[in-house]
Amino acid sequence: MANQLRVFPRRKKRIMRAVKNTRTPYGLDIIESCVTCPLKLDRIFCDLSPRALVMLDNISSSATYPKGAILFVEGQEPRGVFILCSGRVKLTASSADGKSLIMRIADSGEIVGLPGTVSGKPYELGAEAIEPLQANFIPRELFLQFLRENGEAALKVAQLLSEIYHATCREVRYLGLSGSAAEKLARFILDWAASHGDVKSEGRVILTLTHEEIAEMIGASRETVTRLFAEFKRKRLIEVRGSTLVISNKIALQQILKA
Amino acid sequence: MANQLRVFPRRKKRIMRAVKNTRTPYGLDIIESCVTCPLKLDRIFCDLSPRALVMLDNISSSATYPKGAILFVEGQEPRGVFILCSGRVKLTASSADGKSLIMRIADSGEIVGLPGTVSGKPYELGAEAIEPLQANFIPRELFLQFLRENGEAALKVAQLLSEIYHATCREVRYLGLSGSAAEKLARFILDWAASHGDVKSEGRVILTLTHEEIAEMIGASRETVTRLFAEFKRKRLIEVRGSTLVISNKIALQQILKA
DNA sequence: TTGCGGCTGTGACGATGGTCACCCTTGTGG
DNA sequence: CCACAAGGGTGACCATCGTCACAGCCGCAA
């Protein structure tokens, strides 16, 4: 909901220097260069040499997108990568008959469109902003060029790809290895809590997804998700207040997985 | 069935030179150095400099495994990558209650264990030889070192990871976006034909998987697969003779996907 | 206010497919 | 040659979950 741009002032100076050279627009969707943006580039590529960082910043250009904007669609020729500054993006696979499946939700700081860009094959997923979005875009050719000249960055990219793959494997578990829908949902809640959990308030998470979206993530119907949420509440496994979800009985929830 | 080792004599000379230095065993499972093996290393990393190829060969060591051998199990700390010379490996995710799901079948020439090795996270899948296997093993640390010193190779690895990811996405489609089991099987048959199809004999493929294994690939039960095969045969969509599968009516098969 | 659109909640119904139980064939090794 | 294991084939049963239909709720805009 609250979609505040967090700015890291310490970083700003370093960035401002690099950003001077960033005067090369690569498409219509470029609105402004990445100045207010926290530029998580150096979070992702934090262990690169300063020279590489500047190079990277030179080829990237920032843009903003409204909620619901489509960054790219499935099957499209890969144009490049998006590095999210703020806002989240859902990555979905969709079938001919309109069903769609959310494979991953990329949070701010993450990188989107990487596999397609690296391999050159059509994007295997579509990307849609689920919040107002600010992102750095790097066109494919320049990005590849950058990787070729920058071995350490290429290795870093390989690591990122491995992590994306890792997340995808977890997704496969939802879909393939769960007996019941209850199992899927329990697994989803626990996973979500693990990755989005507030550190201090144990078991409290903010869940900004609709039932529909959760259904698309775990491969179930909207109604089933609603029913299961009701069931979990009835059994005192979870509580829901607004968009806050509290895991009241984590152990019981984990029990469902093993069943 | 017939598991002949295909040897490419042309490659042998080049390899023999490089292989001289390969005298460093890294574990108990090393049986012999990679001499008879076609060493597809240079297929995967074919565009590397000769120097890099030699380095790569120096750190890799060949071993053979019987059918059913486990290269690694899910959750294990990553030890390194395996590059398959001959034989195939199935990569499976398994659940607590013993169910398992085949995510990918790596053919000879492919590389196995890459994401885990690159990211350092535990292998997300288990790997089991489904045929007698000959493979080159490269221990994690040496492999990473090699990538660090070899930017072009790192980029190549990123590409391979993208392709693995690509295959995984397709797998997700089976599990998540198919209405019926018939749809999954149809998709599976078409995919298999597309990737393993003989070029000259259109529509003829060799399918060396048991119904059980197919079931694990598409997320269905063995019985369902058997029943569907019977149904497809009855409807004249396919014919099966031994381990050869003939697609008699490709259009009808594709129709099932869209339904 | 009213109306509208997105989201959630709930009942009824029925197809799909997993499970169990069993049998048959084939290949392999003692 | 027999025994055994692994794979394939089939029927019966019934739990699960997707689908349809509809109702309440909230926020928002006219």
SS3 B120: coil
pLDDT value of residue B21? 29
pLDDT value of residue A11? 29
Looking at residue B142, its amino acid is: L
Q: Which residue has the higher pLDDT, B132 or B23?
A: B132
* CB contacts, 8 Å: B157 with chain A: 154-155, 158
> Exposure of B76 by Cβ count < 10 A (0-12 exposed, 13-18 middle, 19+ buried)?
middle
Instruction: Give the integer Cα–Cα distance in Å for B150 and B121.
Output: 22
Q: Which residue has the higher pLDDT, B109 or B9?
A: B109
Return the residue in A102, A111, A148, A159 with the most chain B beta carbons within 10 A, the one to mutate for interface testing. Answer: A159
Instruction: Give the integer Cα–Cα distance in Å for B234 and B37.
Output: 43
List the single residue in A118, A150, A163 with the smallest CB-CB distance to B159: A118
Q: Do B166 and A121 touch (CB under 8 A)?
A: yes
CA distance B73 to chain A (A): 15
Q: Is residue B56 scored above 90 in pLDDT?
A: no
Instruction: State the average pLDDT over residues B117-121.
Output: 96
Residue B188: name the closest of B237, B118, B124 by CA. Answer: B237
- From the CA of A175 to the C1' of D26: give the distance in Å: 33
Partners of A83 in the beta sheet? A111, A136
Q: Which residue has the higher pLDDT, A191 or B43?
A: A191
Q: Is residue B23 scored above 90 in pLDDT?
A: no
Instruction: Tell me the pLDDT of chain B averaged across its residues.
Output: 81
Instruction: Tell me the pLDDT of chain A averaged across its residues.
Output: 81
Strand pairing report for A133-139 and A204-206:
unpaired
SS3 B211: helix
pLDDT value of residue B216? 94
Q: Which residue has the higher pLDDT, B174 or A93?
A: A93
List the single residue in A94, A125, A161 with the smallest CB-CB distance to B158: A161
Interval A74-111: pLDDT, tens: 999 999 999 999 899 999 998 888 889 999 999 888 99
- From the CA of B216 to the C1' of D2: give the distance in Å: 34
pLDDT value of residue A203? 78
List the single residue in B94, B96, B172 with the smallest CB-CB distance to A93: B172
Instruction: Give the integer Cα–Cα distance in Å for B119 and B113.
Output: 10
- From the CA of A182 to the C1' of C14: give the distance in Å: 21
Strand pairing report for B80-86 and A70-72:
unpaired
Instruction: State the average pLDDT over residues B165-181.
Output: 89
Range in B9-23, B35-49, B139-153, B245-259 with the lowest mean pLDDT: B9-23
Interval A155-165: pLDDT, tens: 999 999 999 99
pLDDT value of residue A148? 92
User: Is the overall model pTM greater than 0.85, yes or no?
Assistant: no
pLDDT value of residue B254? 92
Q: Do A178 and B97 touch (CB under 8 A)?
A: no
State whether the beta carbon of A230 lies below 7 angstroms from any atom of strand C: yes
Q: Which residue has the higher pLDDT, A32 or B242?
A: B242
Range in B41-45, B76-80, B104-108 with the lowest mean pLDDT: B41-45
CA distances from B159 to A41, A59, A167, B142 (A): 21, 21, 18, 20
* CB contacts, 8 Å: B127 with chain A: none
Kindly state the tokens that stand for A204. 């409290």
pLDDT value of residue A53? 82
Q: Which residue has the higher pLDDT, B51 or A161?
A: A161
- From the CA of A122 to the C1' of D27: give the distance in Å: 40
Range B140-143, long-range pairs (CB < 8 A, 24+ positions): B140/B78, B140/B79, B140/B80, B140/B81, B142/B26, B142/B59, B142/B80, B143/B59, B143/B80, B143/B81, B143/B117
Q: What is the mean pLDDT of each run of 10 residues along chain A (259 residues)?
A: 28 29 32 45 67 85 90 95 93 87 92 96 93 93 93 92 93 88 95 82 86 95 97 94 90 85
pLDDT value of residue B42? 55
